[in-house]
Structure 1
Amino acid sequence: MKKKVAVIGAGFSGLSAAAYLGRAGYDVHVFEKHGQPGGRARQFSTPEGFKFDMGPSWYWMPDIIESFFSDFGYNSADFFDLVSLNPQFEMIFSSGKISVPESYEELKRLFESIEAGAGAQLEKFMHAAKFKYEVGMRDFVNKPCHSWLEFISPKIARSAFKLDLLSSFRSYVAKYFTDERLRTLMEFPVIFLGASPKDIPALYSLMNYGGYVLGTHYPKGGFYQLVLAMQQVAEAQGVTFHFNHNVDAINIENKKIRSLRINGENQEFDLVVASADYHHIEMQLPEKFRNYDTAYWKGRTFAPSSLIYYLGLKSSIANLTHHTLFFEHPLDDHIDCIYADKKWPENPLFYACCPSKSDRDVAPVGQENLFLLMPLATGVSDDEETREEYLIHMLERLEKQTGAKNLYQQILYKRSYCVSDFVQDYNAYGGNAYGLANTLKQTAVLKPKIRNKSVQNLFYTGQLTVPGPGVPPSIISGKIVAKEAIELYHKLLDHEETI
């Protein structure tokens, strides 16, 4: 009889784990509290004709995502049309803007035009970043991270110095570039990792390569097309999805999960993979079965939460690209509000995504789909009045940059999403949006473990464990956990046969 597996949560890590476990021959059931897959990457449509991706919008590291499909004999092109954006994005400064071109050769020329010698420096930077990308994303991040011994291999040992694990990202960038705009442009990608550039290892310059060199892409129909594609791959492996199914309790006997109470009914399983919030799952367990106590979680550095607005506008906005970053104020001032002061920022930085510039299916003709995101400290109060104040502030800055008039009056549809919504919808610790920050003290073996130390058949996957936050890492996390679970059962079967 097939081993019966429950995957809690249908985010990217859950979809990935389910697909790999299904391919291995397990009877896999995915339980998702919402009515659709995707987790933070859900999508919704409005009566006005707008279609909004709720979360991820940067399609970077396409080769890592492509490797998921190739593992199952597919290409992403079998499911959606992936287009390369040109420009990749624009970054707005108080002194003007930088438009990042699709072509890497053009990017080098752009850097040179801003700072003499910066084109050659960018080439050196990306040469090193490519090495980190190839080692980091193919060797380093694919470890289950039970022990540092996993990293003792000739290849990783030879690469250790070049990986720059002990250097801060900020000081590393400063070795290459003097112009503050170029430094900010290079530092920006690690914000996705949930910490200040001064606290992120220089290893993560690999993100610059995975973005700026490999390009910024967009799946026609929205980022949600990736979710739907992964669901189809999983279903082709025999995986069954159960939507609007909430896991109410985890029932443990003899240090094993015997059953889950789902929508009030107990169902038995041989193995459970938790793709839901790690802390939330731990709190459902008796204290003696938890990997970590409350003090542990309070001592972690979490990635930011976000204030998000989904806006449908009655007319298009000229002079706005698909991705635009508004960085007219100092980066560190905003970062300090997130990590040190834990308050709403006085001079916020924010991000605007306008997918209707690349895809007319996400908004009615002549209208605009606008997604605004402002990084925010976890745990802050987020009443509607405060949210609205920041919406008006962001729209005023957008008007100043684009020349648009009266954007607030152009709104046909409006929905906000903030700290309390992340808690309500995803049981996210502190309302975080991106998981644990990838600081040096929270990297690799120092992240929460993927296997429960006391409950034999419980595993964890997703952005709070290895390898970390982001779509490609979450997909990798699911693969790592599936491999570990399969190996566990092979060991148990071998043990039973020798008794």
Structure 2
Amino acid sequence: MKKKIAVIGSGFSGLSAAAYLAKAGNEVHVFEKHDQPGGRARQFKTEEGYVFDMGPSWYWMPDIIDNFFTDFGSKTTDFFELISLNPQFEMIFADDKIAVPENLDELKILFEKIEVGAGLQLEKFMKSAKFKYEVGMQDFVNKPCHSWAEFISPKIAKSALKLDLLSNFRNYVAKYFKNEKLRTLMEFPVIFLGASPKNIPALYSLMNYGGYALGTHYPVGGFYQLVLGMKQVAEKQGATFHFSNIVESINTENGSIISLTVNGNILDFDTVVASSDYHHTETLLNKMDRNYSEEYWKNRIFAPSSLIYYLGINQTLPNLKHHTLFFENDLDEHIDCIYEDKKWPEKPLFYVCCPSKTDQGVAPEGKENVFLLMPLATGINDEEAVREKYLAEMMTRLENHLGIRNLMSMIEYKRSYCVQDFISDYNAYGGNAYGLANTLGQTAVLKPKIRNKKIKNLFYTGQLTVPGPGVPPSIISGKIVSNEIINAKN
């Protein structure tokens, strides 16, 4: 039976769910509070001619993104040109820097130069990571996670030991490499998962394969091109998008949704998919209809928020790469400020993206588009004076790296984005930027459920439910929830 379905939010999980549900013949309506699709992956343009992606900038796991388009008889190349970055990124240390080459064989040579025997160890590490990637991204992440029984299969049982589900990522990396810089380089990818490497299962070495082995890419025109491509796919299937439409309440009766209140209007639907923040979605329901209490959310471990600066620089910056990671300070010290102390870091790490090094279309000629990001604890004070203090520190360190002075005087466009902005724009719990941390206690079945336990026709998708944070997992999340609805008996 075909249904009239509402999707709340047009982030990657919402776009994905809308496309699959419309393909199945349902009447799908996507409601988005902003005037454009993408959620955290929105884009904005300035009067000066700069084009800024607001969120994701690491195009990893290209095969997962390819799979989405393949499911609809398309290819990524139908929508945008994808460039493989070389180097993939540069990591800056206090006394050195490492540029990660595009080619894995070249990376092995680099590792060997830094630590004798590390080239062979990297080969072993990546062989194991590839196995985890193939099993994890095929057999693990596509499950709705209603119960652990879903994971009982001969293949998974046979693979259990090789997946390193119970060992932590830090100890796992240390078994392969002694050099601290190499360890940091290998630990870096799991920071996207929102927790310290010592609290992330070693299974997630699959991230190293999905990044370093499969490469770091960039869509010409910015990451927003992926958003536009997915929207076109969904529309081609018949989905309708409604922008500047705020869902104000989810109205229920006898254990079922009967309508949504959108911009003051009552609209009837058979099924609702919430791609919006999970906690916020629950506040649109009566308390008795919610899956989880406020106490539950207070006890979750959230991935970080971020301080972001979008900067237009009025001249070119020689020697700056597309992606640069500033790791001159101690990783654990910064992480403790996020998860333990809940305060601004005294010795922060941060990230710089300069897409104009690859794509001159995102900045005026002879100028640079610069994106600064520093991970932060959720829920902390982020007044403008504090933001500016950290901008000054990041710019000083960028100056030292580039060997130039007075970088602040070169800024002709500046916009900051932090905790309160994530709350106001995305209703993000605590101002989180990446959803729930992928700790062992918040993995798979232990994540918030994709189905409401009391309302039979309400489903949840996105980075606060399975499979977790990140662009590829969010795309998969939309597919998982659409399959649940398509295969439902009622």
Fold equivalence (TM over 0.5): yes
1:29 aligns with 2:25: no
Whole-angstrom CA distance in 1 between matches of 2:262 and 2:286? 18
For 1:445, the equivalent position in structure 2 comes to 445
Quote the residue 1:297 is aligned against: 297
Paired amino acid for 1:44:
F
2 CA distance for matches of 1:405 and 1:318? Answer: 13
In the other structure, the counterpart of 1:481 is 481
Q: Secondary structure at the match of 2:129?
A: helix
Q: Is the 8 A contact 1:260 1:267 kept in 2?
A: yes
- Following superposition, the deviation at residue 222 of structure 1 comes to 0.1
Residue 319 (1) aligns with residue 319 (2): yes
Are 2:98 and 1:98 aligned?
A: yes
- Report the Cα offset of residue 285 of structure 1: 1.1
**Paired residues, number:** 490
**Considering only aligned residues, what root-mean-square deviation do their CA atoms show, in Å?**
0.6
1:208 aligns with 2:208: yes
Deviation at 1:487, TM superposition (A): 1.1
Secondary structure of 1:160 counterpart: helix
Residues 169, 199 of structure 1: 8 Å contact kept: yes
Q: 1:496 is matched with which residue? A: none
In structure 2, how many angstroms separate the alpha carbons of the residues matched to 1:302 and 1:370? 27
* 2:487 alignment partner, SS class: helix
1:123 matched to which residue of 2? 123
Q: Calculate percent identity across the aligned residue pairs.
A: 74
Counterpart in the other structure of 1:9: 9
- Cα distance in structure 1, aligned partners of 2:338 and 2:317: 30
| One-letter amino acid of the structure 1 residue matched with residue 334 of structure 2 | H
Distance 1:72 1:369 in 2: 34
Instruction: Give the corresponding residue for 2:329.
Output: 329
**Equivalent residue number for residue 460 of structure 2:** 460
Moved over 3 A (4+): none
The residue correspondences of 1:142-291 to structure 2 (distance < 5 A) are 142-291=142-291
The secondary structure found in structure 1 opposite 2:306 is strand
Residue 18 of structure 2 is matched in structure 1 by 18
Report the Cα distance in structure 2 between the residues aligned to 1:181 and 1:465, rounded to whole angstroms.
Answer: 33
Q: CA offset at residue 404 of structure 1?
A: 2.2
1:497 alignment partner in structure 2:
none
Q: Which moved more, 1:280-289 or 1:192-201?
A: 280-289
8 Å contact 1:451–1:459 — kept in the other structure? yes
Amino acid at match of 1:276: S
CA-CA distance at 1:2 after TM superposition: 4.2
2 CA distance for matches of 1:316 and 1:463? 36
Q: Report the counterpart of residue 309 of structure 1 in structure 2.
A: 309
Contact 1:318 1:404 in 2 (8 A): no
Give the secondary structure class of the aligned counterpart of 2:342.
coil
CA deviation map 1:266-320 (0-9, x unaligned): 0000000000000001112111111110111011000000000000010011110
* Separation in structure 2 between the aligned mates of residue 28 and residue 165 of structure 1, nearest angstrom: 38
Unmatched segments (≥5 aa) in structure 2: none
Matches within 5 A, 1:403-422: 403-422=403-422
Q: Deviations over 1:307-338 (max 9, x none)?
A: 00000010011110000000000100000000
Amino acid at match of 1:64: I
Conserved? CA contact 1:343–1:380, under 8 Å: yes
Paired residue secondary structure (1:98): strand
Per-residue CA deviations over 1:390-430 (Å, capped at 9, x if unaligned) read 00100000000011221110011000000000000000000
Counterparts of 2:239 and 2:374, CA distance in 1: 36
CA offsets 1:422-450 (integer angstroms, 9 cap, x no match) = 00000000000000000000000000000
The answer as to 2:61 corresponding to 1:61 is yes
Q: CA deviation at 1:254?
A: 1.0
CA distance in 2, matches of 1:183, 1:318: 28
Quick one: which amino acid aligns to residue 63 of structure 1? D
CA distance in 1, matches of 2:419, 2:388: 14
Give 1:450's aligned amino acid: I
CA distance in structure 1 between the partners assigned to 2:315 and 2:138 by the alignment: 45
Q: Which amino acid aligns with 1:281?
A: T
Matched, 1:392 2:392: yes
Aligned to 2:424: 424
Q: What amino acid maps onto 2:335 in structure 1?
A: I
Q: Deviations over 1:15-37 (max 9, x none)?
A: 00000000000000000000000
Distance 1:177 1:295 in 2: 41
Q: Report the counterpart of residue 73 of structure 2 in structure 1.
A: 73
The residue that corresponds to 1:353 in the other structure is: 353
SS in structure 2 of the partner of residue 64 of structure 1: helix
Give the deviation of 1:207 after TM superposition: 0.3
How many angstroms apart in 1 are the aligned matches of 2:316 and 2:406? 12
Is the Cα–Cα contact under 8 Å of residues 307 and 419 in structure 1 kept in the other structure?
yes
